[in-house]
Amino acid sequence: MTLEIWHNPRCTKSRETLALLRQKGIEPEIREYLNDVPSVAELQSVLDKLGFESARGWMRTGEAGYKALGLKDIDDEDKLIEAMSTHPKLIERPVVIHGDRAALGRPPEKVLEIL
């Protein structure tokens, strides 16, 4: 079964999570999601795998774009997911996907739970 990481090489937690996987002998498929932006359908699928009740739990709410877009006041899940697809910097990273499960690498060790 393929293991995929949605990775931002400029992010410390993302680099630490990738290094942890490699230390465990796992070479994941790497998706630099800022360049290969996930579709709304992909985001919804991964959101379901993460088990979050709301897309907001997977958003970088401290990002300037979050505030500029007024997302704090939006309760429509479809609009939140669309914003994440349109503005991928809003996606909290890293995310590791393994089959029908996913985990946010915050802290990096959290991804070991889905292996």
Q: What is the pLDDT of residues 24-50, one digit of tens each?
A: 999 999 999 999 999 999 999 999 999
How would residue 86 be classed by pLDDT, with cut points 50, 70 and 90? very high
Task: Return the CATH number of 1-33+93-115, one of 3.40.50.360, 3.40.50.880, 3.90.1150.10, 3.40.30.10.
Answer: 3.40.30.10
Q: Which residues pair with 97 in a beta bridge?
A: 4, 102
Quote the Cα angle for 98-109-17, to 5°.
70
The reply to whether 11 belongs to the active site is yes
Phi/psi for 29 (5° steps) reads -75, 125
What is the pLDDT confidence band of residue 1, given thresholds at 50, 70 and 90?
confident
Average pLDDT value for residue range 48-55: 95
Catalytic residue among 3, 4, 11, 13: 11
Position 40 scores a pLDDT of 98
> Where do the structural domains in the chain lie, given as residue ranges?
1-33+93-115, 40-91
